[in-house]
Amino acid sequence: MLRIHDTMVGGRVDFVPRVPGRVSMYVCGPTVYDVPHLGHGRTALVFDMMRRYLTWSGYDVTYVSNVTDIEDRIIARAAESGTTEPELAREFTDAYWSELDRLDVDRPDAAPHATEFVQQMLDLIAGLVRRGAAYVIEGEGVYFAVQHFESYGKLSHRRVEDLAEGAGARVAVDERKRSPLDFALWKAAKPGEPTWDSPWGPGRPGWHIECAAMSLEILGDGFDLHGGGDDLVFPHHENERAEAEAAGHPFARHWVHAAMVNVGAEKMSKSLGNFTNLRDAIDAVGPRAFRLAALRAHYRTQIELGRAALEDAERAIDRLDALARRARVVGIEASHDRDPDLVVRFRTAMDDDFATPAGFAAIFDAVGATNQAIDDGRSDAAVLLGTVVELLGVLGIELRDEVDAVDIEVDALVAARESARAARDFAEADRIRDELAAQGVTVEDTPSGPIWHR
């Protein structure tokens, strides 16, 4: 039984989907006003991992992740850049998907854009007005009445009284608002901003109503899992839940949130290997190393994706590829059979709230077991190799044995060193080994022959 940490509950619960054998997921995607950063990368990888694991476990998964293409920051950035909101949104939407494609993040089954669902938002707002859960402020728009929704604050585990006090202290409250916590569902048109017609005059949707309307429209009432970064718990997800449930719709059955990326206290510099820009980080170590670095910590743990973490992940990828090269050299192909004990160990880890640290530990132990089986000449080496390949695939990492010009040169040097050793020319063998070391290549002598890795 898969158990997950449900934010609403504040602890682990059994994951029981709405329809047996099927899972419906909605994950908040980017607001496209700038290039994607490390946090975008980690969040996308976390939920890609969950989707892959659920699919591997036999579920039919419907995965939806939106694009917010109308919002205050998009409007401001477009004005600064001298472009239009749609043009700006297209530019940064393309940049977002381009980097996620490099990370081998599977595209969502649906990627709704907010501007395509304005009518559904209007319908949801109208229902809230009819129920008395929303009210109109002339010239300002339509606001959600937080006091109308008794369980407001339940998702973020906050008291309404404390939230109201904090909100009142931070901002000047419009006297026409019933509570400082009340938030805009529909914003009245302002000069130079994009607008749509509505029963309350021209304007544009508020941020929170977008995801509530899109998730309900595509996945229906009571969909299984709502996810996103933990910075969205309040106010975004709290407000989404309030809007949907106050309108009479059962909303998400489970809430799952990924922790943020800490860029560290060091000066941010590409030359130092510290990044905030996702593209630069991927360029530095490659997509697979970035994926491994983002997933090797538990998804609810804040991580630092600086130089040290990325380089360590790069070394781990080299270790994996060294196994692939070694298997090629000794002529072993991955079997279609799997080692049952390793699979059970991996599944046990992942069923415990997607515990990827323990999952990776099982995989790297399997790598060691495969190397040992090759050393011993055992027949189960192919089964162990197949297990490594499959379990890595569940986490979105491919075991590669790609040979480029540099690899061919290294192979030739390793072969020359082996010939020198066979001829008992140990001085030449040591010279070649030193030459390889200068290139960052380590050679390991094993009973079945030398293997190398960077």
Name the pLDDT band for 288 (thresholds 50, 70, 90).
very high
Residue 181 near residue 233, CB atoms below 8 Å = no
Residue-wise pLDDT tens digits, 29-46: 999 999 999 999 999 999
Of 153-167, 190-204, 205-219, which gets the smallest average pLDDT? 153-167
For residue 81, pLDDT beyond 60: yes
- The whole-chain average pLDDT of the chain stands at 92
pLDDT at 290 over 70: yes
d(CA 69, CA 75) in angstroms, rounded, equals 10
Q: How confident is the model at residue 268 (pLDDT cuts 50, 70, 90)?
A: very low
Do residues 63 and 159 share a domain?
yes
pLDDT at 9: 97
* Average pLDDT of the segment spanning 188-211: 96
Residue 148: the pLDDT is: 94
pLDDT at position 85 is 97
C-beta separation of 49 from 256 below 8 A = no
Based on the fold, state whether residues 176 and 307 are members of the same structural domain.
Answer: no
Let me know whether 106 and 214 are in one domain.
yes
Residue 194 inside a domain? The answer is yes
Question: Residue 193 domain-assigned?
Answer: yes
Rounded distance, CA 184 to CA 212, Å? Answer: 14
**Domain end residue (candidates: 347, 367, 394):** 394
Residues 252 and 274 in one domain: no
Its sign, for the CA torsion 308, 310, 314, 320, is: positive
Indicate whether 158 pLDDT > 90.
Answer: yes
User: Can you give the pTM of this predicted structure?
Assistant: 0.89
Does 172 have pLDDT greater than 90? no
Would you place residue 267 in the very low, low, confident or very high pLDDT band (cuts 50, 70, 90)? very low
Cβ atoms of 452 and 442 within 8 Å: the answer is yes
Give the residue among 120, 158, 140 at the shortest CA–CA distance from 243.
Answer: 120
* DSSP track, 64-116: EE-BB-SSHHHHHHHHHHTS-HHHHHHHHHHHHHHHHHHTTPPPPSB--BGGG
Q: What is the mean pLDDT of residues 143-171?
A: 85
Residue 50 domain boundaries = 16-258
Q: Do the Cβ atoms of 329 and 449 come closer than 8 Å?
A: yes
Question: What whole-number percentage of the chain has pLDDT above 90?
Answer: 83
10 part of a folded domain:
no
- Give the CATH number, domain containing residue 159: 3.40.50.620
Pairing relationship of beta strands 22-27 and 11-14 according to DSSP bridges: unpaired
Span 273-283, pLDDT tens digits? 556 899 999 99
> Bigger pLDDT: 408 or 354?
354
Domain count within the chain: 3
**For helices 307-330 and 356-376, what crossing angle results, to 10°?**
30
Q: Mark which of 258, 287, 302 sits at the end of a domain.
A: 258
Across 46-52, average pLDDT? 98
Say if residue 14's pLDDT is above 60.
yes
- Produce one character per residue of 288-300: b if its CB has 16 or more CB atoms within 10 Å, e if not: bbbbbbbbbbbbe
pLDDT band at 132 (very low <50, low <70, confident <90, very high): very high
Cα distances (angstroms) measured from residue 377 to each of 231, 338, 407, 446: 51, 18, 25, 11
Question: Is the pLDDT at 173 greater than 70, yes or no?
Answer: no
203 found inside a domain? yes
Return the higher-pLDDT residue of 307 and 353.
353
The arithmetic mean of pLDDT across residues 279-289, rounded, is 95
Within 10 angstroms of residue 400's Cβ, the number of other Cβ atoms is 12
Question: What does the chain come to in residues?
Answer: 454
Task: Give the model confidence (pLDDT) of 135-153 as tens digits.
Answer: 999 999 999 999 999 999 9
- Is it the case that residue 265 has pLDDT exceeding 80? no
pLDDT at 269: 43
Are 286 and 250 within one domain?
no
Statement to judge: residues 238 and 285 lie in one domain: no
Is 9 within the bounds of a domain? Answer: no
The pLDDT of residue 167 is: 59
Q: How far is CA 412 from CA 376, 408, 436, in A?
A: 25, 6, 11
Strands 442-446 and 134-137: unpaired
Q: Domain check: are 332 and 206 in the same one? A: no
Same domain, 291 and 325: yes
Average pLDDT over residues 347-359: 98
With H, G, I as helix, E, B as strand and everything else as coil, classify residue 342.
helix
Give the mean pLDDT of 115-128. Answer: 98
- Range 267-289 average pLDDT: 76
Position 264 scores a pLDDT of 59
pLDDT, tens digit (0-9, with 9 covering 90-100), for 380-434: 999 999 999 999 999 999 999 866 556 778 878 888 998 999 899 999 989 999 9
Measured CA to CA, the distance from residue 39 to residue 376 in angstroms comes to 44
Task: Quote the pLDDT of residue 443.
Answer: 86
- The verdict on residue 399 lying in a domain is no
Q: What is the pLDDT of residue 266?
A: 46
160 within some domain = yes
Query: Residue 378 pLDDT > 80, yes or no?
Result: yes
Q: Is residue 348 part of a domain?
A: yes
Are 281 and 186 members of one domain?
Answer: no
Q: Which two tokens stand for residue 19?
A: 């329809």
| Domain shared by 188 and 283, yes or no | no
* Rg, Å, the chain Cα set: 26
Residues 175 and 73 in one domain: yes
- pLDDT at residue 271 is higher than 50: no
Distance in angstroms between the alpha carbons of the first and the last residue of the chain: 40
CATH number at residue 389: 1.20.120.640
pLDDT at 170 over 70: no
Give dist(CA 308, CA 233) in Å, integer: 30
- Work out the average pLDDT over 235-255: 98
Rounded to an integer, the average pLDDT of 356-378 is: 96
Q: Does one domain contain both 268 and 410? A: no
Name the residue among 47, 58, 30, 41 with its Cα closest to residue 254.
47
Q: Is the pLDDT of residue 174 over 60?
A: yes
